[in-house]
Amino acid sequence: MNYKVIIKIFSISLLILVFSCRKQIPEPIGKSFGSGLTVINDNFNGKDIVVVGNEGLQLLVAFERRLEDGTLLEMQKTSALSIPAICEDQEGNNWDIYGLCVFGPRLGEKLPLLHSSQGFYFAFNSIYNGVEIYMGGDVDPPAPVLDENEWLIDEEFVFAIGGFDGIPAVEEAHFEIFRSRDFLVDPFHVSNEDRITVVKIGDEVRGYPHNILTRHEIVNDVINGIPICINFCPLTATGYVWERGSNTYGVSGLLYNNNLLMYDRDTESLWSQVLGRSVWGDQQSAEPVHIRTFETTFDTFQIMYDFQAKVMTQETGFQFSYEGNPYDQYNSVDEFLLFPTSYQDNRLLNKERVIGIEIEGECKVYPYSAFN
C-alpha cells in the first residue's frame, strides 16, 4: 500500500471522526410532535372554544371555534401537517398556532381571537374573584363593592413598589436571526429552557425572551408598521400583546393582586394587564386591541422555526445583566406572594401553570396537567 492510499484512508477516517463528534442540529418539529398535542373542544360562558397544547412543549393556545358564518368546528389533532399547524376540523381545514387556516377550503381564514394568557393559577383566580377550572368545577365568591367613579378594581389590593418607569420599558428593541450566530465563538443569550413570547404579524415572526422581559416588563415595538406593546408580569407569569397606536406604555410601579398595572404616556391612565382594560384615569374602561401571540420555551421555538425567526437581543439601551431568572426563588415557593390578594382558594396550587381564558368578565383556566 503506497503512501497516497494511506493518506486518503487517514483523511476519510478523520472526517468521519469529526462529523460524528459534531453537535447534532435538531430537526424541525415533525408529525410526532403534532400527534402529541391535546385538543379540547369546550363551551364556556356561551362561547364555543378550542384549547390546544402539550405540557412537554410548554405550549398552550386557545381560540373560538364558531366562525363568523355560524359554522361550528369540531377540532382534532392535525393528521397531515406538523407544528405550527396544530388542529384540523371536520371540513379538512388545518389551523395553525395563530388560529390561521394554513390548508383546506378555508385557507387564509382566521379563528376568532380569545382574551387569554398562560400564567400562574392565583393570578386569574384572584383578579376574577374565583375562576372555573376545567374538569374542576366553579366557585361563587362575593363580588367586591367598588366606587366606579374612582377605580374599576378594588383599590384595597393595589400596592406600590415604585414610581412611574422605576422599571424601564424598552423603547427600541433590536433583533437577530438565531441561525446567524456562531455558537462556538459566542453562545446565544437565551438558553433552551428559557421561556419566550412569540408574535407574528404578516410574515414577520419575532421572539421576546423572558430573561429580558422579566427586567423590563414592557417592550414598545413596531412590526410590519403596526405599533404594539408586549407586556409581561413576572409575579403572575402572564403575558399579553396589544396594539398601542401612537401611544406608548410604561411600568407604573403599582400592582393589583400582584399583577402589573401599566400606564399610558398620553393620559397617564392605569391599565390592568390581566383584565385587559384601563381601570383608572381618562381612559377608564377602554380596552386595547389584542394581538395573536403564544408563549413557549426557547427550545420549542427554535426548532419550530428552524432557527430562522428573529429574536430580541440584549441591546436594550440599558446596562442590565440578563443572565438567568431573578424570580427563580419566588417561583419555587408556592405560598410566597409579594402582597395579599382579594381572593384565594386551594383548588390548585397558587403557582400551578395554566392558561386563563376571559369571556364577558368570567374566567376559566385549563391546567397544564390536562395537556400531558
Contact criterion met (CB below 8 Å) for 252 and 268: no
- Measured CA to CA in angstroms, residue 141 lies from 127, 130, 135, 357 at distances of 12, 6, 19, 18
* pLDDT recorded at residue 24: 37
Q: How far, in Å, CA of 368 to CA of 51, rounded?
A: 11
Instruction: Output the CA torsion sign for 325, 331, 336, 341.
Output: positive
List, in sequence order, every residue forming a beta bridge with 113; answer none if it has no partner.
Answer: 63
For residue 8, is pLDDT > 50?
Answer: no
At residue 1, does pLDDT exceed 90? no
> With pLDDT > 90 as the criterion, what percentage of the chain qualifies?
74
In the predicted structure, residue 174 carries a pLDDT above the cut 80: yes
At 14, the pLDDT band (50, 70, 90 cuts) reads very low
CA 230 to CA 77: how far, in whole Å? 30
SS3 call for 238: strand
Quote the cell numbers at residue 251.
411600568
CB 295 within 8 A of CB 197: yes
In three-state secondary structure terms, 78 is coil
Least confident of 3-7, 204-208, 315-319: 3-7
pLDDT, tens only, 224-281:
999 999 999 999 999 999 999 999 999 999 999 999 999 999 999 999 999 999 999 9
Flag whether pLDDT at 6 surpasses 60: no
Residue-averaged pLDDT of the chain: 88
Task: Please state whether the peptide bond connecting residue 142 to the residue before it is cis, i.e. omega within 30 degrees of 0.
Answer: no
Higher-pLDDT residue of 196, 23 = 196
- Give the separation between CA 268 and CA 264, rounded to whole angstroms: 5
Looking up cell 386569574 gives: 124
Which pLDDT score is estimated for 308?
A: 76
Specify the pairing of strand 59-64 against strand 47-54.
antiparallel
Task: Tell me the pLDDT tens digit for each residue of 22-56.
Answer: 333 333 344 345 558 999 999 999 999 999 999 99
Burial 252-263 (b: 16+ CB within 10 A, else e): bbbbbbbbbbbb
DSSP code string of 159-174: EESS-TTSSPPBSS--
pLDDT band at 335 (very low <50, low <70, confident <90, very high): very high
Residue 35's pLDDT is what?
A: 55
Of 26-40, 53-67, 163-177, 332-346, the range with the lowest mean pLDDT is: 26-40
pLDDT at 190: 87
What integer pLDDT is reported at residue 66 of this predicted model?
Answer: 97
Q: What are phi and psi of 359, to 5 degrees?
A: -135, 115
User: Strand order of the sheet with strand 204-209?
Assistant: 175-177, 310-312, 204-209, 195-201, 293-297
Q: What percent of the chain has pLDDT over 70?
A: 87
Can you give the C-alpha Rg of the chain in angstroms? 23
pLDDT above 50 (res 9): no
Structure confidence at residue 141 (pLDDT): 79
Going by their DSSP bridges, the two strands 204-209 and 310-312 should be labelled as parallel
> Domain map of the chain by residue range?
27-141+344-372, 148-331
Q: State how far the Cα of 80 lies from the Cα of 82, in Å rounded to an integer.
A: 7
Neighbours of 112 (CB within 10 A): 14
Residue whose C-alpha is closest to residue 370's, from 359, 357, 360: 357
Q: What cell numbers appear for 65 in the block?
A: 371555534
Cα–Cα separations (whole angstroms), residue 95 to 28, 101, 204, 303, 370: 18, 4, 18, 19, 21
Q: How far apart are CA 14 and CA 78, in angstroms?
A: 44
Distance CA 170, CA 197 (A): 15
pTM of the model: 0.88
